[in-house]
Amino acid sequence: MTEEQIKALPFYRVSKLFDEKEKATILYAERITRGAAAIRSGTLEELRKYYSEDQIVELTLVICVANFTNRFNDALQVEPDLG
């Protein structure tokens, strides 16, 4: 992502900086982060336009690992080593 896209993330749904695939991916990540139980079938159908089933599984895993890492570090007040 570019610095400009990072700054535009709060408005990604209406931003011209993101294509439809990126918007679908960000929405999916946002929904998993806020509450995976609320994922709608339409969300997955939208992802299937851009990703294979295997890619959706991998994408979901990456999102979940990032959420786990963030929650773990936050709970223990660990500052990540960014190298």
pLDDT in tens, 7-47: 999 999 999 999 999 999 999 999 999 887 778 888 899 99
Q: 3-class SS at 22?
A: helix
pTM tops 0.75 = yes
Phi and psi (nearest 5°) for 15? -75, 140
Q: 43: which residues sit within 8 A by CB, 6+ positions away?
A: 27, 28, 31
**Rounded to whole angstroms, how far apart are CA atoms 13 and 11?**
6
Q: What is the pLDDT of residue 24?
A: 95
DSSP state letter for 19:
-
Name the CA dihedral angle for 22, 41, 68, 70, rounded to a multiple of 10 degrees: 40
**The CATH number, out of the four listed (1.20.1290.10, 1.25.40.10, 1.10.10.60, 3.30.70.141), of the domain defined by the range 3-76:** 1.20.1290.10
Q: What per-residue confidence (pLDDT) applies to 65?
A: 95
CB 25 within 8 A of CB 49: no
Check residue 41 and give its pLDDT: 83
The answer to whether residue 56 scores a pLDDT higher than 90 is yes
Residue 81 has pLDDT above 90, yes or no: no
